[in-house]
Chain A
Amino acid sequence: MSIATTKGTLEFINVVKDYGTGEPAVKGISFRIEDGQLVTLLGPSGCGKTTTLRMVAGLELPNAGQILLGGKDVTAQSASQRNVSLVFQSYALFPHMSVMENVGYGPTVRGTKKAEVESKVNDVLKLIGLTGFEKRLPSELSGGQQQRVAIARALVLEPAVLLFDEPLSNLDTKLRRHVREEIRELQQRLQITCVYVTHDREEAMAVSDHIIVMDRGNIAEAGTPQQLFFQPRTAFVADFLSEANVAKGHVVAFENGKATLTLGDSRFDIATDSATVGEAKIALRPDVFEVTTDANVSPALEATVQKCAFIGKGVEMVVDTAGGELFVFLPKEKTVRAIGSKVRLAFPADEARLIV
């Protein structure tokens, strides 16, 4: 089966969703997803990502704003009219229908002839690797197989956009990596636009072309996984995606895309397109540090150990520095340091990011 490359461009313009419970669930967000991309909505629970997904599906109608699908305004269209399919978190397979009936449900209720439905279902089941399971009931399938049936059921309508609502949350840890690879591989093969919702940052980075990080009904930041991980611009994204520390330092000079920072005793330059001279927040991921005994290495921070634990793949420490309290992960360390002991932590200048 070949799924024709439909215009799967999806655009949100100032979309608001207010359930009337005080704070709006989604507070006027705008974004654009290009055809054939897999974009993840990432954020902690209650950030509005699922509401956003449900608005794409048409299960919720926005209070304000516009939703464009393939360039056409679909804001007022109901879920059954939109060319969009959703893979539910709970799969929502109809328990009284066989795999064949479940997958064939969409075409059937849209009035497709029985023979045609069957051939479509067979094509999709082949694509998804479930040939031979047509007669089974959902309860007779494993979790991973149920998941695949749910995807097949969504795919059979050849939707312009395929939506995933936390598709891995009902699978055990071992299966998760496998299924997420499968989803990504399938998406690449079909070149289908996908919107994927999760709160797991590793999962998000593994599957996505782009990530939209949401925070309390707003978009915090959007970008490729690498951009968001290595070059966050906000404290929220720095913390949420890489558990980065926010250290207090100063910008002493900024010119020609180069800022000069001071943090503790160290003074160093980083490349950045904007900075204001004065107090600044500097993001430093826990894994960029290294213990050094060389007092001349710079940039580096003098630190006092507050907590220290060996976790197998390395040592975790909470330390007190001139830039504030930092969480540090040292993969090469093997020994636990005494509380109160002093240590000098070096870090590469280009791993430091100015954030707001």
Chain B
Amino acid sequence: MTGYRIIALLLIAAGLTLVPWYALQDSFYAFKWIANFGGKDFAPALIQITTYGKVWLIVLPALLLATVGLYARPVNAATAVEGAVRSWAKAVAFIGAAGALYILAQGFAISSQGYAFESLKAMMPEISSGQFGMGAGALLVGIGFILISADGIATMGYFRGDRFIASALLCIVVLIVMFVFFPVMRILYEGILDQDRGWSIMALWERFGQRKLWNLVPGCLWGGSGCGVAWNTLWLALLCATGTTFMGLMLALIVTRSNFRGKKILRLLTVLPIITPPFIVGLSLIMLFGRAGVVNQFLEFAFGIPQTRWIYGLPGVLLAQLFAFTPVAFLVLIGVVEGVSPTLEEASQSLHASKWQTFRYVTLPLMAPGLANAFLVGFIESIADFGNPVVLGGNFGVMATEIYFAIVGAQLDQGKAAVYSLILLAFALFAFWLQRKATARKSFVTVTGKGDTGLPSPLPDGVRRAAIGVGVPWLTLTVVLYGMSIFGAFVKVWGRDNTLTLDHFAKAFSIDHGPHGWLFTGAAWHSLSNTLQFSLAAAPLTAIIGILSAYLIARTTFKGQRAFEFLTLLSFAIPGTVIGVAYIFAFNVPPIELTGTGLIIVLCFVFRNLPVGVRGGIAALSQLDKSLDEASTTLGANGATTFRRVLMPLMKPAIVGALIYGFVRSMTTVSAIVFLVSGDTEVATTYIIGRVINGDYGVAIAYCSVLILIMVVAIVLVQWLVGSRKLGRRGAVAAPAIAPVAVAG
């Protein structure tokens, strides 16, 4: 028997006999279950069956024995009759799948009060007790059965008989279905339930047709009020996408096509959206334009203009989103502008076209798919945005914030949250689908290997003036905003009492020396350490699953590969608030009961950041020639060996990138986890949001600046530690293969 099969069997055996089958009240790592081994809540499955009446679990050891039986009598391909190997493998695959599915099925069928469905009660034998959420034992047994199923599938001849590929694919699909697909489906289910938790399509229809959502009165989009939340969201997203695409294009043109001196600083800006906590732009805008803001105070002081509240509402949210998301569009469009072949522009000019004509009829059309992409990315970012509307929205409600208030507000209306989430999800998926179409269409931008010589033609004067005219003020304001936010952390009460102080930092991060040694007495330490722990736990998981998925997408072929790719990238399109709502609906009740734990936050981070890891991995793999894999294969290596010895070392930059971005994005996530944190698992962003809602801006900003600092240090440190050490000696020949991966965007 091979090592693979032994591991799978041992996992199941250990899961059934050694570790607790059900989820524990406190952490698994508290190891109370060892002291109480065999107790009602702590017992492994076998004892649960024999002692505590959980007879339905008997199926699992039975399936284990069946697997052992099959493995003990493998079919010898050389001597067996035709088709014997295949039917043996089929049996293995079937038993594995049956085991994994049975675990889920019994979990859903039997809740804490016995059978979960009336119909089951009638059909099935009576049971003495119910059960709680599944725990470590169920996890191990589940993995074991999935591995066995993958073994069977590979032996049947799929995936070129490679067990590594089969098991990796199966595991990832199961994970994505459990933690992306299933929660989203739960929202739909929740939307159909009426007040008495009975099924009702009418309830769904009523919630869907609310006036609050779709109301449209004349002029409400232009500064008036009374628009439905759905219209608000769409209108804001449209404005934001147009604005960020325009600004992004102008900045990209400055950087790539002009001799403007601030080019280097502009490039640095591309890092900003990645390391900016979600409220910082909003908070800075309040400090600048808010009631007590610098501009208002100056206007009142100098001209006697009364202070206004215009910043709270659509203008403020839009402004904040423009500042927050323009760097994203900029990043996308730099690549697009650089991809336009200078030769084509030279050809145009040699045919007597003016600079403007060349720009208008050659350059711009060539960039069209890229512009469409940037627009849709801006659109998706805007409708998913939660941080800016919650800080600046005032009475201007968007879907993301309405969902939040439906859950945490006084009303607690799960049905409303569900339906709003569904609509928001529909918007996002539609935009995502359009974006995929825009980028999948045969790109005009041709990057051939051939040396495309020639100089990019200079911009027409008008365009250049517009670009500089837009870019320079934008750059200045950005610098002012960020500078302000840092400055704000050192001021007592912004706008009222401008004395410099370190109070905010002291309040958040003080350390005292008490009789029992050093004490972290600052209010923020708890959430900060949580944030770091969760992010550090999520980053490697994101990297592993992301890179493995990328390998499966880019380097293997199987039926349904396109669907698999779509599944891995899907969570990019799901707005954070929707994921958050989905997770509470899905994981608040058995069989998978995770709310209130740190695990649910880590899982949320992993599956939200997965698309970044996947795309980074695909980009890195496309730089590695396929013949490297083939060389490894012809030399006798299987999929796992090739992945570990050839691809992994060459993808090191991509892996480091996935690690960094997994970490950094986790630290700045707010919308997805705002519902998932408990007192114990509070994280930095949710702590900050609490301070913002209380109007305690000083501490919030002080905390934000500390977060930025940590992220910058992390990025620099990781780059320095792993980034370029072993790769340094390679010369020009290998250089293209290890070119850094475009990480964001």
Contacts and interface: CB of A to CB of B under 8 A. Distances in A.
A151 to B, nearest CB: 12
A337 B14 CA distance: 92
B636 A110 contact: yes
B634 A137 contact: no
Interface residues of B, number: 30
Interface stretch (A84-92, A227-235, A290-298): A84-92
A115 interface: no
Given A78-B160, A95-B737, A96-B650, A139 B731 contact: yes
B732 interface: yes
Contact of B634 (A58, A96, A140): A58
Interface in B698-745: 726-727, 729-734, 737-738
B636 A80 contact: yes
B104 interface: no
Of the candidates A90, A137, A139, the one having the most CB atoms from chain B within 10 angstroms of its own CB is A139
Interface string A80-112: 111011101110111110000000011001100
A80 B649 contact: no
A59 B634 contact: yes
Interface stretch (B451-459, B613-621, B637-645): B637-645
A95 B630 contact: no
Main secondary structure of the interface of A (DSSP, over half): loop
Interface residues of A, number: 30
A95 B636 contact: no
B627 A105 contact: no
Contacts of A93: 631
A59 B734 contact: no
A354 interface: no
Contacts of A109: 632, 635-637, 641, 645
A80 B733 contact: no
Contacts of B631: 86, 88, 92-94, 153
A157 B162 CA distance: 22
A92 B635 CA distance: 12
A105 B625 CA distance: 18
A50 to B, nearest CB: 12
Contacts of A96: 649-650, 726-727, 730, 734
A86 B633 CA distance: 10
B161 interface: yes
Contacts of A92: 625, 627-628, 630-631
Contacts of B731: 137, 139-140
Interface in A323-342: none
A86 B628 CA distance: 12
B634 A95 contact: no
Nearest to B630: A59
B734 A105 contact: no
Nearest to B646: A94
A88 B627 contact: yes
B294 to A, nearest CB: 54
Given A78-B161, A80-B638, A88-B627, A95 B733 contact: yes
Nearest to A90: B627
A95 B161 contact: no
B630 to A, nearest CB: 5
B733 A88 contact: no
A154 B627 CA distance: 14
Contacts of B633: 58-59, 78-80
B635 A153 contact: yes
Interface string A200-216: 00000000000000000
Interface in B649-671: 649-650
A86 B646 contact: no
B645 A105 contact: yes
Contact of A139 (B161, B649, B732): B732
A63 to B, nearest CB: 14
A206 B727 CA distance: 41
Nearest to B635: A106
A137 B730 CA distance: 7
B733 A106 contact: no
A138 interface: yes
Contacts of B737: 95
A57 interface: yes
A86 B627 CA distance: 10
Nearest to A101: B645
Given A88-B630, A109-B645, A95 B730 contact: yes
Contact of B733 (A139, A154, A157): A139
B634 A85 contact: yes
A188 B36 CA distance: 74
A250 B121 CA distance: 93
Contacts of B738: 95
B635 A90 contact: no
Contact of B630 (A86, A137, A153, A154): A86
B3 to A, nearest CB: 12
B730 A139 contact: yes
B730 A80 contact: no
Contacts of B645: 105, 109
B646 A106 contact: no
Interface of B: 160-162, 625, 627-628, 630-638, 641, 645-646, 649-650, 726-727, 729-734, 737-738
22 contacts: A57-B630, A58-B633, A78-B162, A80-B635, A80-B637, A80-B638, A84-B634, A85-B635, A88-B630, A92-B625, A92-B630, A94-B646, A95-B650, A95-B738, A96-B649, A106-B635, A109-B636, A109-B645, A137-B734, A139-B730, A139-B731, A153-B631
Given A92-B627, A92-B630, 19 more contacts: A57-B630, A59-B634, A80-B635, A80-B637, A84-B634, A85-B635, A88-B627, A90-B625, A90-B627, A94-B646, A95-B650, A95-B737, A96-B727, A109-B637, A109-B641, A109-B645, A110-B636, A137-B729, A154-B634
Q: Nearest 6 CB-CB pairs, A to B? A: A106-B635, A95-B734, A92-B627, A92-B631, A139-B731, A139-B733
